[in-house]
Structure 1
Amino acid sequence: MDFGRLITAMVTPFDEQGEVAWTQVPPLIDMLIERQRTQSIVVFGTTGESPTLSDEEKIKLLDLAVRHAAGRCSIIAGTGSNDTKHSIELTREAEKAGADGVLLVVPYYNRPNQDGLYAHFAAVAQATKLPVMLYNVPSRTASNLEAETTLRLAQLPNVVAVKECGPTEQVAYIAANAPEGFRVYSGDDTASLSALSVGAYGIVSVASHVVGARMSEMLAAHAGGEADQAAAVYHSLLPVFKGLFACPHPVPNPVAVKYALQLRGFEVGGVRLPLVEAAEDEKRYIERFMADFD
């Protein structure tokens, strides 16, 4: 399964009461496909505020995304959690709903060792026929899926990719030693070009909500051997990459990108507690870098 080079981890639209704004999902998907040129969409990943979505909301969101995308892009369901049994159940529901693949995050809070991580991912992968993308994000999970464990999991027939937010040398080692066809994706927009330079295939992005078309240009230039052009595009996008996560000090994702989308005319609402909306100085900062990019 090839999910393409540009994957967007989609926000979940909410209304003023904090409920899922179902009518806003289709136009958001259309915009990501048609304007931002995303090739796959992750629904209810971290950017989609998965910890505060119920299973019922997740499956309804997935069903809507699958039906509306109608094959125009792949739909990946974020079915990972720190409860293996629950991840298996949600993954099976995602398979029934027509997902094209699943994204499985490293179990958070429990802090399993590498044998536990392998056993967790293997159990979920073996419970489904769907392609599996692993998701290593040590800054959120307090555990690092080490490169050797990723490579061991890559031997399983339906474990096809990893979204890697670890150090560049880990990206490089996995890319150099993975079986043929296994894809490594950068999970950090800011680190995307350095990850590509050491063997990453693509990006699972937040910034692609607002600069996806330009990111596609960067990816195409890099894949085509035009390193200088890829670097030039990257440098032009860096203020957006950095600004969405540090405006003017670090803010939790997806607070900034939801406000950036609002500035672009897409009403995706606010965030659910325990997240809170951007403060006024943060909003002014977002407005400035978005205006500079426009």
Structure 2
Amino acid sequence: MFHGSMVALVTPMRADGALDFGALRRLVDWHVVEGTDAIVAVGTTGESATLDVAEHIEVVRRTVEYAAGRVPVIAGTGANSTREAIELSKAAVEVGADGCLLVTPYYNKPTQEGLYRHYMTIAEAVPAPLVLYNVPGRTACDMLPATVERLADVPNIVGIKEASGSLERTRELIERLAGRVDVFSGDDDLAREVILQGGRGVISVTANVAPRAMHLMCEAALAGDAARAAELDTPLRGLHKALFLESNPIPVKFALHAMGLIEDGIRLPLTWLSAAHHEPLRQAMRAAGVLN
């Protein structure tokens, strides 16, 4: 259902932290023109942790409005409360989201049985396409492949974003799921290999600043053209790494500001990129061809 380069879109903000919907519209239009295959609104990169519920749903609504059916919009609606995740997901679907991305519950560290029941409960309550999201480095919660496999035959669970940083893990998921649930890379530096081994795309930070290149790389990898995918990915390797010099989305917001696409707004407890990282990130952007 979803595939290719799916950008985990930043939420543009003004210097005082106010939401900048004009910049959001421009970003959405730019991604459509550049070939981005889907937009993920208000995920981790979209600073979901510091938007209140009304802002969260308004960003999703505006993203859907600006996309105007030209590209699918997936809303980040995960929470560490099952009830809250259901409420957010229902609200996102009501304002037009094509699907929901649901991060594993963070901080409260559920068991594998708890994770299974969490997602089953959401799937039963929200009849929309759902993408699971495993990122243990942020959540202190690792959803194991056996648990994902238990969920594989739930009709509206259509994918999983696996961001464990392990090719072995994604390979195991692809083998276990056998096409019943699509596997998406959550790590840009592994995306090419994940797709070549059977994944269906990437939910990408890098696509924020290099949307055309990420789209073309994913397109080549999905077509099985490993040589072309490697040719397209090689100039991006430094960027994949530099965009995590500090916690995401700090570097990617600096990069977009350097490109003149957003203002320098970010919300505490995140802060603007440290001066020591400015030039290394700029060098990676130049190597990727996104900055003069």
Query: So what's the TM-score if we normalise by structure 1?
Result: 0.95
Q: CA deviation at 1:157?
A: 0.8
| 1:169 and 2:168 are equivalent in the alignment | yes
Match of 1:187 in 2: 186
| Aligned with residue 265 of structure 2, among 252, 267, 270 | 270
Equivalence map 1:66-215=2 (5 Å)? 66-166=64-164, 167-215=166-214
Equivalence map 1:25-44=2 (5 Å)? 25-35=24-34, 37-44=35-42
C-alpha distance in 2 between matches for 1:20 and 1:226:
40
C-alpha distance in 1 between matches for 2:267 and 2:55:
14
C-alpha distance in 1 between matches for 2:286 and 2:192:
24
C-alpha distance in 2 between matches for 1:95 and 1:13:
22
Q: Tell me which moved more, 173-182 or 162-171.
A: 173-182
Kept in 2: contact 1:12–1:268 (CA 8 A): no
Q: CA deviation at 1:226?
A: 1.7
Cα deviation digits, residues 116-171 of structure 1 (max 9, x gap):
00011111111111100000001001111100111111211100000001221221
Match of 1:52 in 2: 50
Kept in 2: contact 1:102–1:131 (CA 8 A): yes
Cα deviation digits, residues 247-273 of structure 1 (max 9, x gap):
xxxx00011111111121102432110
| 1:21 and 2:20 are equivalent in the alignment | yes
Match of 2:63 in 1: 65
Q: Secondary structure at the match of 1:191?
A: helix
Q: CA deviation at 1:293?
A: 2.6
| 1:221 and 2:216 are equivalent in the alignment | no
Match of 2:278 in 1: 283
Q: CA deviation at 1:22?
A: 1.7
**CA RMSD across the alignment:** 1.2
C-alpha distance in 1 between matches for 2:196 and 2:281:
29
C-alpha distance in 1 between matches for 2:265 and 2:18:
10
Kept in 2: contact 1:171–1:199 (CA 8 A): no
Equivalent position amino acid for 1:25 in 2: L
C-alpha distance in 2 between matches for 1:224 and 1:65:
29
Cα deviation digits, residues 173-214 of structure 1 (max 9, x gap):
111221545210000001112222322110000000111211
Query: So what's the TM-score if we normalise by structure 2?
Result: 0.95
Equivalent position amino acid for 1:222 in 2: A
Q: CA deviation at 1:6?
A: 1.1
Give the length in aligned residue pairs. Answer: 288
C-alpha distance in 2 between matches for 1:86 and 1:257:
28
C-alpha distance in 2 between matches for 1:293 and 1:80:
32
Q: Which runs of 5+ in 2 are unaligned?
A: none
Q: CA deviation at 1:230?
A: 1.2
Q: Tell me which moved more, 121-130 or 228-237.
A: 228-237
